[in-house]
């Protein structure tokens, strides 16, 4: 497994990649499973609870997630060609963070419950209902597959302030 560099909004070249729409995965191969393992290792090291392939510069529609409790055994999950097939009218707001926007957190309003569909790492199709942090994280990661960052759900002022804060922190490091 290989630790990969996480692209951030502080670098204009990284941002240009993060804003792109990822391509569907045509075939689940050993190479794709190795990429998923790299993504999980990178996510755990960050640390984070999710990571989309676009965040390491791989413009493929897939992400990984682990929502297990800190002291519980890990529950790594891989989501390939993810979709939301139904979303509730009810909305909920969650304080989101993003490994590509370090140390910035803000409330984002999204559907509280979603029905999701994806392929797992064996290529089996899964459809299930998500709520709470799972629903929030799934939608956040699916946004990455579509070139959307959580800052895009906020006002232009908040977005610009956040990006300049991340850039300043990078210069000071």
* Smaller CB separation from ligand K1U, 26 or 74: 74
The arrangement of strands across the sheet holding 125-131 comes to 50-52, 62-65, 77-87, 113-119, 125-131
CB of 135 to ligand K1U, least distance (A): 10
* Smaller CB separation from Zn ion, 43 or 119: 43
Within 10 angstroms of residue 77's Cβ, the number of other Cβ atoms is 18
* Smaller CB separation from Zn ion, 39 or 98: 98
Under DSSP, is residue 7 helix (H, G, I), strand (E, B) or coil? coil
User: Considering CB distances under 5 to 8 angstroms, the limit depending on partner class, which of ligand K1U, Zn ion, none binds residue 24?
Assistant: none
Q: Burial, 96: exposed, middle or buried (Cβ in 10 Å; 0-12, 13-18, 19+)?
A: buried
CB 70 within 8 A of CB 55: no
Q: Is 51 in the site for ligand K1U (CB under 6 A)?
A: yes
Find the catalytic residue in 31, 75, 96, 141. Answer: 141
Which residues are 113's β-sheet partners? 131
Under DSSP, is residue 86 helix (H, G, I), strand (E, B) or coil? strand
What is the distance between the alpha carbons of residues 45 and 97, in angstroms, rounded to a whole number?
A: 16
Q: Is 96 in the site for ligand K1U (CB under 6 A)?
A: yes
* Smaller CB separation from ligand K1U, 27 or 152: 152
82 DSSP 8-state letter: E
Q: Is 135 in the site for Zn ion (CB under 5 A)?
A: no
Residues 87-106 binding Zn ion (CB under 5 A) are 98
CB of 165 to Zn ion, least distance (A): 16
Shortest-Cβ-distance residue relative to ligand K1U: 48
25 DSSP 8-state letter: P
Residues 126-155 binding ligand K1U (CB under 6 A) are 136-137, 140-141
Is 141 marked active-site?
Answer: yes
Catalytic residues: 141
Binding site for ligand K1U (CB under 6 A): 47-52, 94, 96-100, 136-137, 140-141
């Amino acid at each position: 497994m290989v630790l990969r560099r996480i692209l951030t909004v502080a670098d204009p070249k990284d941002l240009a990649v993060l804003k792109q729409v990822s391509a569907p995965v045509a075939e689940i191969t050993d190479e794709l499973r190795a990429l998923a393992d790299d993504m999980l290792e990178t996510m755990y090291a960050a640390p984070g609870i999710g990571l989309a392939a676009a965040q390491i510069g791989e413009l493929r529609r897939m992400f990984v997630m682990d929502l297990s409790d800190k002291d519980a055994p890990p529950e790594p999950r891989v989501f390939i060609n993810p979709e939301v097939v139904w979303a509730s009218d009810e909305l909920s707001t969650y304080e989101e963070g993003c490994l590509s926007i370090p140390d910035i957190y803000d409330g984002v309003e999204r559907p509280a419950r979603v029905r999701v569909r994806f392929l797992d790492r064996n290529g089996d199709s899964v459809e299930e209902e998500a709520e709470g942090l799972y629903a929030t994280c799934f939608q956040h990661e699916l946004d990455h597959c579509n070139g959307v960052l959580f800052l895009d759900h906020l006002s232009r002022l908040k977005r610009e302030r956040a990006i300049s804060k991340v850039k300043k922190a990078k210069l000071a490091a």
